[in-house]
Amino acid sequence: MKRILVMLVAVLSLASVANAAQPKGVDIKHVEPLSWWVGMNTALQLMINGENIAACDIAIEPAGQGIEVAAIHKAESPNYLFVDVAIADDAKAGDYNICVTNGRRTVRYPYTFAERREGSRERESFTNADFVYLIMPDRFANGDASNDSTDNTAEKADRSKPGRRHGGDIQGIIDHLDYIADLGATAIWCTPLLLDDEKGASYHGYSCSDYYLIDPRYGSNELFKSYVEECHKKGIKVIMDIVPNHSSTSHWWYADQPFADWTHQWDSYTQSNWTFSTNMDFNASKADLYQMESGWFDRSMADMNLDNPYLLNYFKQWAVWWVEYSNLDGFRVDTYPYNEKGPMSEWCKAVMDEYPNFNIVGEVWTSSIPQLAYWQGGNYNKDGFDSHLKSIMDFPLHDALRAALSEGGHGGWGQGMTRVYDVLSHDFVYHDLSNMMIMAGNHDTERVADVLNGDAQRMKIVAALLCTMRGMPQMLYGDEFMFRSTDRSKGHPTLRIDFPGGWEGDAINLFDEAQREGEQKEVFDYTRHMMNWRKNKAVIHSGRTMHFIDRDNTYAFFRYDDNDVVFVYVNNSPETKRVPWARYAEITEGLGAGRDVVTGESVNMSECSVAPASVLVVEFTR
């Protein structure tokens, strides 16, 4: 009997060992990128996530089609694999399977390698011939009320609260593309549309919870692709706002990161010191530089570590995937200098290697002109650093415009319009003036009309300057109507107001021309006229600039080339000014009568005067 029991225990033990060796179910939770294309320059490295996926083997079928696994890399977490995929030049597009094998059990995960659009690599991007319209989607228009709140997202819509979701979405933008095109905008930059699943204040989108998913309260990936297509039909380019610097702590990977250094870890919560001058300051300590790069923006915004090569590959592919998938025209990169600068330079170069004509504009929020210039690709930097970032946002000019136009007195040294002259006198510092985004306001700064106390005349000066200065102009939605904050003391949520008429039942609909009136209509009509005039004015897009200094709160400059001249005269003072035409003889010699760009009337410049708080724009043909 004892022998029988021993034999039974042995058999059960062997069975137990055998069962342990048998494959368990394979649960693949995520494969990113979501799909790929044949004929790409960018190498493909799949990130596969699933419980104990590290114990599995990976293959791609069918075999013999030019696509196969080249290498498999394990992460520190057993729930990830990073798989290098070799794609031959003659690889066949089509539907494939990623075969995940654990022992004798194989799970097949469908994966598509598609054909690229014709001319995808050579796609054009936004340039200084474009005028960029900045939209905060949650506050622009609600085209689909059914997705205002969804079961699979945390924050629900509550339009009564400034800091909550209001329900604007992609469909709302699509529904008003005719309005945007009529205004004269040729490119749209939306603040982030990817999933932001924070429990509150998620409407701004800058805390990404899934890099491959459009937030369902905005729509879907397919709807975003349709949105880009509809924009292109209207002659409008699409710029996607992206945030590689930080992700949300609600991202699906946060609780189980592939590597311990996937995000920057601290013993206790540590914010960035916000001092990105540490990147180029020879005197900066390494400790300050590390905190700037590695400190968090907010407790809910995990700081990503781009020094991790797998994460850097992830972001390269992610950027290329969205361009190829949705047919994008450009990127705007949030908080650019807070990323590790070496890896971000490599990231920019990777995107540009895939799309040589592509444009990427980085948010470099500084009033220091030399520090701003440092970040533009190709700039001469003493440390040899090249960001490969094509475009930068001109915050020094932004600051000067706002300060100058809010000073309506008689001017003087360093006051009024002299501020603008002084900033532009530093243009020699920049590598490429054509690739600088100029603005008087955006979604993070006070409304221009708030700064200018609702002065319609000076709002028209803003529009004229944006339409005539060097660089790529950008305007925040509603500034064409002098939108003002509902409560300036409450900051961002109240300057990011809903566009009247974007919601069913709104008392006023400013999308309807018949409902526009008073100074709002006056500013809109002027802005629309100038933006549409600028579209086909090559001298504004690529001409040179000559400006003249005066310290009486006026400012005069010319944009010129071999064929055309445009003259701009700003009188920001409280009294009428006669244009000192003879003073500009070095550029005006031989010019006849000009044409007022707004009225269309002929202008005799030698007898021309400009009213207080006004701007004159005159065009000439040589």
Tens of pLDDT, residue by residue over 468-520, are: 999 999 999 999 999 999 999 999 999 999 999 999 999 999 999 999 999 99
Question: What fold, for 125-242+439-536?
Answer: TIM Barrel (3.20.20)
Average of per-residue pLDDT values in the chain: 95
Q: Is the pLDDT of residue 10 over 50?
A: no
Q: Which entry of 363, 455, 479, 619 is annotated as an active-site residue?
A: 363
For the chain, the C-alpha Rg in angstroms (whole number) is 28
Phi, psi angles (nearest 5°) of residue 396: -60, -40
pLDDT (tens digit per residue) in 250-285:
999 999 999 999 999 999 999 999 999 999 999 999
pLDDT confidence band for 586 (50 / 70 / 90)? very high
pLDDT confidence band for 410 (50 / 70 / 90)? confident
Q: Looking at the domain that runs over 544-621, which CATH code has it been given?
A: 2.60.40.1180
Q: Is the pLDDT of residue 8 over 60?
A: no
Superfamily for 28-114? Immunoglobulins (2.60.40.10)
Please list the residue range(s) of the chain that carry CATH number 2.60.40.10.
28-114
Calculate the alpha carbon distances from 595 to 135, 517, 554, 584, 612 in Å.
Answer: 34, 28, 21, 17, 21
Give the separation between CA 183 and CA 466, rounded to whole angstroms: 14
Q: What is the mean pLDDT of residues 150-163?
A: 96
pLDDT (tens digit per residue) in 174-205:
999 999 999 999 999 999 999 999 999 999 99
What is the percent of the chain where pLDDT is above 90? 93
Residue 446: active-site member: no
Q: Is the pLDDT of residue 545 over 80?
A: yes
Q: Which entry of 293, 334, 479, 619 is annotated as an active-site residue?
A: 334
Looking at residue 535, its pLDDT comes to 97
Angle, CA of 422, 426 and 432, to the nearest 5°: 140
- CA nearest 362: which of 391, 319, 398? 391
CA 41 to chain centroid, in Å, comes to 23
Calculate the alpha carbon distances from 310 to 33, 144, 296 in Å.
Answer: 13, 38, 20
Please list the residue range(s) of the chain that carry CATH number 2.60.40.1180.
544-621
Can you tell me whether residue 1 is helix, strand or coil?
A: coil
Q: What is the mean pLDDT of residues 82-99?
A: 98
The separation between the first and the last C-alpha atoms of the chain, rounded to the nearest angstrom, is 115
Give the separation between CA 62 and CA 517, rounded to whole angstroms: 65
DSSP character string of 219-262? --HHHHHHHHHHHHHTT-EEEEEE--SEEETTSTTTTS-SSTTS
Determine how β-strand 472-476 pairs with β-strand 544-548: unpaired
8 Å CB contact between 181 and 236: yes
Residue 568 is given by DSSP the state E
pTM: 0.95
Give the separation between CA 438 and CA 501, rounded to whole angstroms: 28
Q: Is the pLDDT of residue 11 over 80?
A: no
pLDDT (tens digit per residue) in 324-364:
999 999 999 999 999 999 999 999 999 999 999 999 999 99
Looking at residue 590, its pLDDT comes to 87
Give the separation between CA 589 and CA 567, rounded to whole angstroms: 13
8 Å CB contact between 273 and 307: no
Longest pairwise C-alpha distance within the chain: 124
Segment (H or E) for 111: strand 105-114
Helix 221-233 with 309-326: angle, nearest 10 deg: 50
DSSP character string of 582-595? GGGHHHHTT---EE
Give the separation between CA 145 and CA 150, rounded to whole angstroms: 11
Segment (H or E) for 105: strand 105-114
Q: Is the pLDDT of residue 60 over 90?
A: yes
Q: Is the pLDDT of residue 421 over 70?
A: yes
Query: What size, in residues, is the chain?
Result: 622
pLDDT confidence band for 391 (50 / 70 / 90)? very high
Looking at residue 23, its pLDDT comes to 40
Can you tell me whether residue 157 is helix, strand or coil?
A: coil
Q: Is the pLDDT of residue 409 over 80?
A: yes
Looking at residue 14, its pLDDT comes to 38
Q: What is the mean pLDDT of residues 159-174?
A: 97
Looking at residue 424, its pLDDT comes to 98
pLDDT (tens digit per residue) in 355-378:
999 999 999 999 999 999 999 999
pLDDT confidence band for 13 (50 / 70 / 90)? very low
Residue 526 is given by DSSP the state H
Calculate the alpha carbon distances from 406 to 251, 335, 452, 462 in Å.
Answer: 43, 27, 5, 11
pLDDT confidence band for 26 (50 / 70 / 90)? confident
Q: Is the pLDDT of residue 22 over 80?
A: no
Give the separation between CA 126 and CA 239, rounded to whole angstroms: 8
Q: Is the pLDDT of residue 98 over 60?
A: yes
8 Å CB contact between 249 and 238: no
Q: What is the mean pLDDT of residues 437-441?
A: 98
- CA nearest 473: which of 413, 409, 412, 532? 532
Q: What is the mean pLDDT of residues 453-467?
A: 98
DSSP character string of 29-66? EEEESS-EETT-SS-EEEEEEETTGGGSEEEEESTTSS
Residue 552: active-site member: no
Alpha helices in 327-417 (DSSP H): 341-354, 369-374, 395-405
What is the percent of the chain where pLDDT is above 70? 96
Give the separation between CA 352 and CA 336, rounded to whole angstroms: 16
